C-alpha cells in the first residue's frame, strides 16, 4: 500500500493533544476511499454517543471485571531489578503492569470486548479483524463468541506459520482465519486485506482494529478502550510507593498497549514515557521495524504518521522476530509524542529481546510475549539514563503486555542458537 494520500477528512472529537479534530498535531486524519467515509462518520458518532455514556461504560467495565479479570495486578519485579542493577544505584523499583494475566493472555481483550459490544449496539452483524501475533485475533474471536457474532480474522501467512497456537485458538473459538499471501505476508498485508473487505461490506460489518492506528476515529477509540491499563497502573503505583513512577515503559508496534499505559501520565511532566520498537537485525540494516527511530512521515492504512517507506512513498517491508511488532507504521499519537518530545522511542534487536525474555523467565517466573520482551530489553538503559538526569535511583512501571505461550516454539529454537552464539 502506498504512502500517497487519497483524500482527508478529520473527525469531530478534541482532546488535550489534538490541534484540530481527528489529528494529533500533523498526524492522523483519514486517508481512505470515499466509500469508507460514511462508516467512519458512523463510528465517530457512536464513539461520542455510545462509548462515552455511563451505560456503555458500566456494561463494558462489568465485563472487564467479571470476564477479563481486571484490575490486573501490579508486580514489583525485585529479582529482575536486582539482576539489572545489583547495587540499586539507578533502579529502585521495577513495577510490572500484568496485562499478561488478562483472559486470553494479553491487553488486546480490553479493546476487542469494547468494540464487539459497540458493534452489537450499532446493529452490525459481522466482525472482521487483522492480527499479527494472533493475540488481537484471539481476543476478537473470544469477544465474538461471547456476543454471538460471526468473526473473520485476516492474518499474514508468515504469521499463521509462526503463531500456530493462536491460529488454533481462534478456530476453536469459532472464527474463520484467512491467511494473506500477498506482500511480506505479515501484519501490514493482513490490514490491507481487512480494509478491502470492509469497503465491500461496510453496511453490515464492523472492522475491529487492534492497534491505536488506522483512520480516525480508530486511534482514539482504541486509546479510549486501552486507557484502563494506565488508569489502573497510576493508582496502583501511587498506592505502592506513595508517588508516581519516574518513567513508564512499553513496547510499540502499532502502539495500543503503550498508548493505554501512557495516557494516564501524559499530563504528569515528572513521568518520562519510553516506547521500545523492534530493531530486528539492527536499524542500520533493512531488517527492522523501528518506525519512529528510523522512519519518515507518510500515510499508511488511512492515517498520516511515521512509516517505513522509500523516497517514492512506497511502504517497505518491516522485520521483527515478534509478529506483533512486525509493522512498518505506528499510531499517529505516538508520532505526535515523538515530535513534541513528550515520549522517547528507542529500539531493541531480536537478540536483545531473546536475551531479555530468558532473564525475565529465570528471575521472575514470567515468560513474556516476544513483543513485551523488547520493552524488558531496554529497562537497564532507560533506568540509567533517567537516573543520571535525576540524580537518584528511579522507579519504572512497564506494561507486561502479553504472555509468551504463543512464542514458545521460537524461544526453544532461537534461545538454543542464542546460547551457542554467546
Known catalytic residues are 108, 130, 401
Identify each DSSP E strand in 287-338 by its residue range: 296-300, 303-307
Distance of CA 51 to the CA centre of its chain: 20
d(CA 364, CA 372): 14
Q: Where are the alpha helices (DSSP H) in 66-210?
A: 78-84, 108-122, 135-147, 157-162, 164-172, 187-200
Q: Give the gyration radius of the chain's Cα atoms.
A: 20
Count each helix (H run) and each strand (E run) in the chain, helices first. 16, 14
- What angle separates helix 218-241 from helix 108-122, to the nearest 10 degrees? 140
For residue 71, whether the previous peptide bond is cis, meaning omega lies within 30 degrees of 0, is yes
The DSSP secondary-structure symbol of 402 reads B
Task: Determine contact, residues 402/135, Cβ cutoff 8 Å.
Answer: yes
Nearest CA to 397 out of 376, 368, 369 is that of 376
Q: Could you write out the three-class secondary structure of 27-88?
A: EECCCCCHHHHHHHHHHHHHHHHHHCCHHHHHHHHHHHHHHHCCCCCEEECHHHHHHHCCCC
The DSSP secondary-structure symbol of 250 reads E
CA dihedral sign of residues 220, 226, 231, 234: negative
Per-residue burial over 59-79, b if 16 or more Cβ lie within 10 Å, else e, is ebeebbeeebebbbebbebee
Amino acid at each position: 500500500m502506498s504512502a500517497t494520500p487519497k483524500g482527508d477528512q478529520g473527525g469531530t472529537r478534541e482532546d488535550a493533544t489534538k490541534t484540530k479534530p481527528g489529528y494529533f498535531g500533523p498526524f492522523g486524519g483519514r486517508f481512505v476511499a470515499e466509500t469508507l467515509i460514511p462508516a467512519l462518520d458512523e463510528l465517530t458518532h457512536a464513539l461520542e454517543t455510545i462509548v462515552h455514556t455511563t451505560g456503555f461504560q458500566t456494561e463494558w467495565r462489568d465485563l472487564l471485571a467479571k470476564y477479563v479479570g481486571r484490575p490486573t495486578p501490579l508486580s514489583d519485579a525485585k529479582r529482575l531489578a536486582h539482576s539489572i542493577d545489583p547495587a540499586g544505584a539507578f533502579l529502585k523499583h521495577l513495577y510490572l503492569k500484568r496485562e499478561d494475566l488478562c483472559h486470553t493472555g494479553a491487553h488486546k481483550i480490553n479493546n476487542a470486548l469494547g468494540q464487539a459490544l459497540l458493534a452489537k449496539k450499532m446493529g452490525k452483524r459481522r466482525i472482521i479483524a487483522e492480527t499479527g501475533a494472533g493475540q488481537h485475533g484471539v481476543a476478537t474471536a473470544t469477544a465474538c463468541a461471547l456476543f454471538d457474532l460471526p468473526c473473520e480474522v485476516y492474518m499474514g501467512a508468515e504469521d499463521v506459520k509462526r503463531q500456530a497456537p493462536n491460529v488454533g485458538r481462534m478456530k476453536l473459538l469459532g472464527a474463520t482465519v484467512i491467511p494473506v499471501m500477498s506482500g511480506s505476508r505479515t501484519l501490514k498485508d493482513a490490514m490491507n486485506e481487512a480494509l478491502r473487505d470492509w469497503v465491500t461490506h461496510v453496511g453490515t460489518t464492523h472492522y475491529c482494529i487492534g492497534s491505536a492506528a488506522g483512520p480516525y476515529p480508530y486511534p482514539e477509540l482504541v486509546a479510549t478502550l486501552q486507557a484502563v491499563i494506565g488508569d489502573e497502573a497510576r493508582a496502583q503505583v501511587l498506592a505502592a510507593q506513595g508517588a508516581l513512577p519516574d518513567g513508564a515503559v512499553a513496547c510499540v508496534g502499532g502502539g495500543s498497549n503503550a498508548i493505554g499505559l501512557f495516557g494516564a501520565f501524559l499530563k504528569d511532566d515528572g513521568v518520562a514515557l519510553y516506547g521500545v520498537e523492534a530493531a530486528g537485525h539492527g536499524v542500520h540494516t533493512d531488517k527492522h521495524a523501528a518506525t519512529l527511530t528510523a522512519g519518515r512521515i507518510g500515510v499508511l492504512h488511512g492515517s498520516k504518521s511515521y512509516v517505513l517507506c522509500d523516497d517514492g512513498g512506497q511502504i517497505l517491508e518491516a522485520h521483527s522476530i515478534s509478529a506483533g511488532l512486525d509493522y512498518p507504521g505506528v499510531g499517529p499519537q505516538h508520532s505526535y509524542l515523538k515530535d513534541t518530545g513528550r515520549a522517547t522511542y528507542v529500539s531493541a534487536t531480536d537478540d536483545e529481546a531473546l536475551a531479555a525474555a530468558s532473564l525475565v523467565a529465570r528471575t521472575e517466573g514470567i515468560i513474556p510475549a516476544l513483543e513485551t520482551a523488547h520493552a524488558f530489553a531496554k529497562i537497564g538503559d532507560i533506568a540509567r539514563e533517567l537516573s543520571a538526569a535525576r540524580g537518584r535511583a528511579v522507579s519504572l512501571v512497564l506494561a507486561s503486555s502479553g504472555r509468551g505461550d504463543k512464542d514458545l516454539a521460537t524461544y526453544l529454537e532461537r534461545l538454543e542458537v542464542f546460547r551457542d552464539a554467546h
